[in-house]
Amino acid sequence: MSIPASLRARDPRTAARTAVIVLLVCTGMMALVGVIGPSTDSDASSAVVWACCAGLSATAGIFHWVPAQRLDRVGGFIGLAVIGVTVLCALAVEAGGTSTRGQAFLVFVVLYAGFHLRTAGAVLVTAQTIVAGGIMLFTTHAVESAFTDFVFFGCMLGVTGGLLTRSVNAQERLVGALTRQADVDALTGLVTRRVLDRALTTALARTGPEAGTALLLMDVDEFKSINDAHGHLAGDDALVHLSKIIKQQTRSSDAVVSRMGGDEVAVLLRDCTRDTAVRRAEQLLDAVRGEPLVLPDGTLYGLSISLGVAHADRSGDDLRTLYAAADDALYAAKRGGRGRVEVAFA
């Protein structure tokens, strides 16, 4: 059984750690109440307080030891908030009154939900908390005073939960935008070097003798002459054009295409033999030759690229070694006359 994603935690691990801290803090506060004893007739009895301490401690243990992802799938985090509010409301009604202590625990729940639950979950928990606060007040106070307190307390909880959720959502959007900027090249739409490095590290760790991992490095021949003769915008168009052709010739299921910087592009081929890698490189070379760039004035410019191919067929091969081998092969292709494929053996 799993709950909808909209009711899950934003980050289950962080939510679990915070839950443990909050539960232990609440345990300590309840223990202090148990030691001091009830301050008013509306406070819970010592037996109830110590039972709550035991329950809070056991729940903290569950959130510490059970994997956070599993708790999230079954609704552990939103369930913690919902059940916590329900228990607080029931205790207050059973005791025949509410107190500042009980209201403080409700604030804890709203803060936790706003920080750690997705928007729908946070709104649900905040609404439940406001309703529970109203039940606690109207069942134990005169209507006039209960109404005044409910308006004040309900507005405080609603505004706190709303502002917190909005702030966390804005922070998530900002982090997402920064991550996209770090992962995707703005001009070509290809992934950046750091994404390629992660994918290549993973692929090399899984490489076995039956296949292997290939790295293709390529750049545009005489790229500077395009900028000098037709302007830098034409150079940008050439890079976009090249990237489009490469993406058409590769599949995201077995390849990662990255702009390394300048006019250099890399292609990672997973589960790929050396012969297959060479053939794919030659196909890229032919595809670029067969699709000239249309310049702003309408003329056709035939692009030429050089490619270096490196292949690793052993698990644990070094990332830097594979890069160096592909780079050496690329420069060999340049020295050999450009517009060709050269192969290195990593």
Quote the pLDDT of residue 78.
93
Residues of the chain with pLDDT under 70: 1, 37-45, 95-102, 207-210, 314-317, 345-346
Q: How, if at all, do strands 255-261 and 264-269 pair?
A: antiparallel
Quote the pLDDT of residue 70.
93
Residue 257 near residue 248 (C-beta atoms within 8 A): no
- H, E, C per residue of the chain: CCCCHHHCECCHHHHHHHHHHHHHHHHHHHHHHHHHCCCCCCCCCHHHHHHHHHHHHHHHHHHHHCCHHHHHHCCHHHHHHHHHHHHHHHHHHHHCCCCHHHHHHHHHHHHHHHHHECHHHHHHHHHHHHHHHHHHHHCCCCHHHHHHHHHHHHHHHHHHHHHHHHHHHHHHHHHHHHHHHHHECCCCCCECHHHHHHHHHHHHHHCCCCCCEEEEEEEECCHHHHHHHHCHHHHHHHHHHHHHHHHHHCCCCCEEEEEEECCEEEEEECCCCHHHHHHHHHHHHHHHHCCCEECCCCCEECCCEEEEEEEECCCCCCHHHHHHHHHHHHHHHHHCCCCCEEECCC
Quote the pLDDT of residue 259.
92
Q: State pLDDT tens for residues 184-237.
A: 888 998 999 989 999 888 888 875 656 788 999 999 998 888 888 888 888 899
- The partner residues of 292 in beta bridges, in order of sequence, read none
Quote the pLDDT of residue 39.
52
The token duo for 203 is 């692929």
Quote the pLDDT of residue 102.
64
What span, in angstroms and rounded, lies between the C-alpha atoms of 220 and 303? 7
Quote the pLDDT of residue 178.
75
What span, in angstroms and rounded, lies between the C-alpha atoms of 154 and 129? 9
